[in-house]
Amino acid sequence: MSETLMGRNDFKDFAALCFEEFGDRVKLWVTLNEPWVYSIGGYDTGRKAPGRASKYMNEAAVAGESGLEVYTVSHNLLLAHAEAVEVFRNNPKCKDGKIGIAHCPVWFEPYDSNCPDDKEACERAMEFMFGWHMDPTVYGDYPEVMKKSIGKRLPSFTAAQSKKLRGSFDFVGVNYYSAFYVKSIAEVDHNTPNWRSDARIEWRKQNKAGQTLGVRGGSEWDFLYPQGLRKFLNYAKNKYESPKFMITENGHCDIDYEKKPKLSNLMDLQRTEYHKKHLQSIQQAIQEDGVEVEGYFAWSLLDNCEWNAGYGVRYGLFYVDYKNGLKRFPKMSAMWFKEFLKREEEMGDSDEEEYLLNVATKKKRFLLATGSASCFIPKMSESSKALELFF
């Protein structure tokens, strides 16, 4: 038995144990969290565990082959996902549950809005970032643009594997944070293959006119672009025949103002605005565009260790005092969420933004319906901040 097959069977056995033990109580399941990050970071750029990459991508990498292993790893992730979903759907304890993958798309705008190549590159970027792991679960195969560009380095599915992958989700998990400009690259060095050169794109923080997409947060890749979430939901809705969506992560980071009074961290105006604007965009997608969004999870309930950034940035709705017994204090964003979730009275039409948020609260179409305010409990898995891989 090959090592990869053993790995898939191990994952299948682990999933079966979880479903058997918790399937009668846990109703929402994610098999893979951000497979794009796992594969790219671990096996193409080498900036995340296990740090495998070619030397031309990462001098610190001691082993690996960029542009090859990255696709092999994702291929096996998808096959393991399909096995787990089959077990899930055959377990009577999970009959009322739902399962899916948490993807991590960013939204892309053309670097030069007047350049057809840059516009086309945005579509190519979406295929390479989102379609890579989404298409197999819908169509049983990779996007055509990937197969054409990558060639023999991209594994293929057997007929049985394709059949098992098709329809292997009940909802599409979306970890959305930011957006970027994309510039098309005409020529690449085929002697140094990697994911980005295969996609023939460059991500840019500014467009040709020197503009950014929005206000920047505590990271160099964190921009406030809530309309990007609505645009993505419409893109995926139209391409994949109106699936159900779950916003499995959405959040804003501040740098840790360690040398400033704690009040600087508690008065998180940008985070409050971030969530407010993104919830509004989701509500517009639901009401005006017909997108089905079944849940929203903020990243994160608490400040925590954020992968490469460690404790240098803060995503939490609650401030954690690392130097004082890990005491926790609600930030302005937490207090805003508290009021948002319990709001019932209808506001005047003159304040359209607040009115939309109020309607959203009453319908609760994008909040998990558990019958109380406790439905807003941000998920406590590790956040993967995808763009750290490139900056």
Catalytic center residues:
34, 249
* Inter-residue contact 152 to 71 (CB < 8 Å): no
Give residue 325's region: left, alpha or beta (phi > 0; psi -120 to 50).
left
What is the token pair recorded at 235?
A: 């893109």
Residue with tokens 């057809």: 116
Span between the terminal Cα atoms of the chain, in Å: 39
Residue 147 is which amino acid? K
